[in-house]
Amino acid sequence: MTLQSPTVLTVILNWRTADMTLQSVAAAETAMQGIEGEIVVVDNDSGDGSFEKMQAELAGRPRVRVVQSGHNGGFGAGNNVGIRLGLSDGSRPDFIYILNSDAFPAPDAIRHLLAYLERHPDVGFAGSRIYGSDGEDHCTCFRFPSIASEFEGAARTGPISRLLAHRSVPLGVPAASGPVDWLAGASLMMRDSVLERIGLFDENFFLYFEETDLCRRARAAGWTTHFVLESRVEHIGSVSTGMKGWSRVPGYWFDSRWLYFRKAGGTLHAVIATAAHIAGGLVLRMRRVIQPRITPDPPHFLRDLVSHAVRQLTDRTGTSS
């Protein structure tokens, strides 16, 4: 009796980056060779001809489907469309692999994630080592945000950062594969059985903090998240979101941040975390009086943070923007 090979469903979400998504699909096809499963490309209601272009370019690829979300509900909602589809025969895959449309896995990247999860049955999620087109590693391994990390990250001050180093959110690039609190979702493999137990991405997050929340929920259910050093993926980063060119932090970032803290510990927890961030931000501003060359926060950031918190507290649902 032969054991059945595990199946993997790769989900790639596109929003107005059709050409780059096609490059990502090509890299994923190579990395899926020898692995049972399929690739589903979800167009997140781009409305710019992306869906039609990808359908035409990918027609005839037996293991690739292109589907339309019909509504841009954000990163989590778009990926959920692909996850819910499952395999084309109607069965559920053993593993879900989400890959950003601006990410390009090495030929063995997906196999390393799959092998790691098969070797470690107590691990729920596994993610890749991410690097840029310049070869430099990206920071994609993190601790869960906390009240202390909000103060430390906002203050960006040496003595404070040294004192709270054990609470700082970014972990850098670990020297070996192993557990982290959460990983960025550019290249993340998840057990379908874990998602069945904890649910998919929370679609109340439009963008940002959705991976943090998912990994936190998995941890609460007893499933850890691991970084896999051997799985390498090139990532351009922020192509769809335009984050690198932000002149002002958008409202959905504040919405997602507040929702994460509220889910993690309730409204009071979100309030205290916000107060800690404000306190840290004031420390930074005092430093800049003496050292004006220190990089400031984005324009109006503290004002926007405060006004957002006030709106959340005056709205009965606590979820409005």
- DSSP reduced 3-state for 95: strand
The one-letter amino acid at 111 = R
What are the tens digits of pLDDT across the range 190-208? 999 999 999 999 999 999 9
Contact predicate 143/149, CB 8 Å:
yes
DSSP code at position 144: P
* Spans of the chain below 50 pLDDT: 1-2, 240, 318-321
The predicted model scores a pTM of 0.93
Q: Can you spell out the DSSP letters for 113-153? A: HHHHHHH-TTEEEEEEEEE-TTSPBP--EEPPP-HHHHHHH
Q: What SS3 state is found at 295? A: coil
Structure tokens at 259: 């929702």
The model's pLDDT over 150-190, given as tens digits with 9 standing for 90+, comes to 999 999 999 999 999 999 999 999 999 999 999 999 999 99
Q: In 3-state terms, what secondary structure has residue 133?
A: coil
What are the backbone angles phi and psi of residue 67, rounded to the nearest 5°?
A: -130, 160
